[in-house]
C-alpha cells in the first residue's frame, strides 16, 4: 500500500462536529444490538461508532422502551437511532436522547411490514417532503450531528436513492448510511454497491455503504466499488462481533486477519450469555440469548442438534456446560 493511499485510509471521518477514527460502524438491528452486544463489540474495537437498536419515538413518549436506551460509558462514540414519522414527536424524542447520544440517527430504511405500515422506516423514502421535515425538525432540536439510514428505494421500479440523498443532505443531515437493497427486496438478492456509489457521487456529506459486508474482503470490495467513506456492518456481526475489528484492520493495513476459531466462537457465546444474564436476570437472559447461541454455533458439525437442545434450556449453568462440552468435543476431533 502506498504512503498516499495509507494516509487516505487513516483520515478521520467528520460527521458534523464529531470526528470518527474508524471507518466502520454498526448497523442497528432490532433485538440484537442491545447494550450487552455493543459492549462485546467494544472488546474488539475501541473506536468504531456503535448504534442502538431502533427506538420508537411513540414508545419513548410513553416510557415503553423497555431499557432499549440503556448504555455503558465505554460505548461512546454511539448513535441513537430513532424511528417515527411525526416531526414534532421525533424532535422531542431526539431532545430526550441527546444527553446520551453522540449522534441521532433517523431510520428511513427498515423494511419490516409493521414499521412501514405506519409511514415509518423505508416508507419515508416514498414521502420525501415528510422525510425532509423530520430531518429539519430534529436538526433544529439538538446540538449533536444528525444522520439518516435509508435504502436505494421502495422497489426496483421506484429507486430514488440519488434524489433522496440530495434531499437528505439539503435538509441538514450530516451523514448517510445506504443499504444497497430496495424495501421490496428485504434482505434477499445481492446488495447493489454501485447504487451506493451513485449516492456518494451525488452528495458531499459522508456516505457509509451497508449490505452484504460479511467479511473484510467484501468490505474492501464495497469501498472500492462504491467509493464511499466507510461501511456499516449488520448481519455479519451475528455470531462474530469481532468482524468489525477485522474489517477496520483490513481497511487500515490491507491485511486480512483470520476469522475466529470454533473454540473462540464458543468462548464468546458463553461470555455473551453470562453478560446477558447479569443484565436481564437468568430466565430472561437465557431466553434472549437463544438466537445468539444459534448464530455462534452455525456451521459446526451437528449444529442442528445443538440448536434444538439449547433453545430448550432455561438454566445458564446448563447452557454453559453444554457449550463447554461442544467446545471440548471440537477440540478433541
Q: Are strands 78-83 and 103-108 parallel, antiparallel or unpaired?
A: parallel
Nearest CA among 79, 40, 44 for reference residue 279 = 40
Asked if residues 333 and 294 have their Cβ atoms less than 8 Å apart, the reply is no
Q: Which of 48, 110, 150, 228 is catalytic?
A: 110
Q: 59: Cβ–Cβ under 8 A, 6 or more apart, which residues?
A: 65
The verdict on whether 228 is a catalytic residue reads no
How many CB atoms are closer than 10 A to CB 199? 26
Residues with Cβ within 8 Å of 312's Cβ and at least 6 positions away in sequence, in order, are none
| Rounded CA separation 333/330 (Å) | 5
Contacts of 227 (CB under 8 A, 6+ apart): 197, 200, 201
Strands 50-51 and 55-56: unpaired
| Calpha distance 123→92 (Å, rounded) | 21
Give catalytic residues, as residue numbers.
110
Amino acid at each position: 500500500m502506498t504512503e498516499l493511499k495509507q494516509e487516505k485510509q487513516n483520515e478521520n471521518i467528520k460527521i458534523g462536529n464529531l470526528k470518527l477514527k474508524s471507518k466502520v460502524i454498526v448497523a442497528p438491528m432490532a433485538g440484537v444490538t442491545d447494550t450487552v452486544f455493543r459492549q462485546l463489540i467494544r472488546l474488539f474495537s475501541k473506536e468504531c461508532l456503535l448504534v442502538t437498536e431502533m427506538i420508537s419515538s411513540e414508545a419513548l413518549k410513553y416510557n415503553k422502551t423497555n431499557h432499549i436506551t440503556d448504555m455503558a460509558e465505554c460505548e461512546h462514540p454511539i448513535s441513537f437511532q430513532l424511528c417515527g414519522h411525526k416531526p414534532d414527536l421525533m424532535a422531542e424524542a431526539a431532545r430526550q436522547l441527546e444527553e446520551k447520544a453522540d449522534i441521532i440517527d433517523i431510520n428511513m430504511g427498515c423494511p419490516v411490514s409493521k414499521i412501514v405500515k405506519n409511514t415509518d422506516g423505508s416508507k419515508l423514502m416514498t414521502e420525501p417532503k415528510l422525510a425532509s421535515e423530520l430531518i429539519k425538525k430534529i436538526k433544529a432540536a439538538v446540538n449533536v450531528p444528525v444522520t439518516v439510514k435509508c435504502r436505494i428505494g421502495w422497489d426496483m421500479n421506484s429507486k430514488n436513492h440519488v434524489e433522496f440523498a440530495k434531499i437528505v443532505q439539503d435538509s441538514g443531515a450530516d451523514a448517510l448510511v445506504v443499504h444497497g437493497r430496495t424495501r421490496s427486496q428485504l434482505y434477499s438478492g445481492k446488495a447493489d454497491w454501485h447504487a451506493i456509489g451513485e449516492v456518494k457521487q451525488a452528495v458531499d456529506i459522508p456516505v457509509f455503504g451497508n449490505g452484504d459486508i460479511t467479511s473484510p474482503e467484501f468490505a474492501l470490495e464495497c469501498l472500492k466499488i462504491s467509493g464511499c467513506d466507510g461501511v456499516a456492518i449488520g448481519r455479519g456481526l451475528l455470531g462474530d462481533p469481532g468482524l468489525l475489528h477485522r474489517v477496520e484492520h483490513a481497511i487500515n493495513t490491507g491485511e486480512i486477519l483470520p476469522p475466529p476459531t470454533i473454540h473462540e466462537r464458543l468462548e464468546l457465546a458463553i461470555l455473551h450469555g453470562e453478560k446477558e444474564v447479569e443484565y436481564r436476570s437468568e430466565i430472561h437472559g437465557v431466553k434472549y440469548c437463544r438466537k445468539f447461541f444459534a448464530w455462534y454455533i452455525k456451521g459446526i458439525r451437528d449444529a442442528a442438534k445443538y440448536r434444538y437442545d439449547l433453545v430448550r434450556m432455561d438454566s445458564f449453568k446448563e447452557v454453559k456446560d453444554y457449550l463447554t462440552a461442544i467446545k471440548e468435543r471440537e477440540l478433541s476431533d
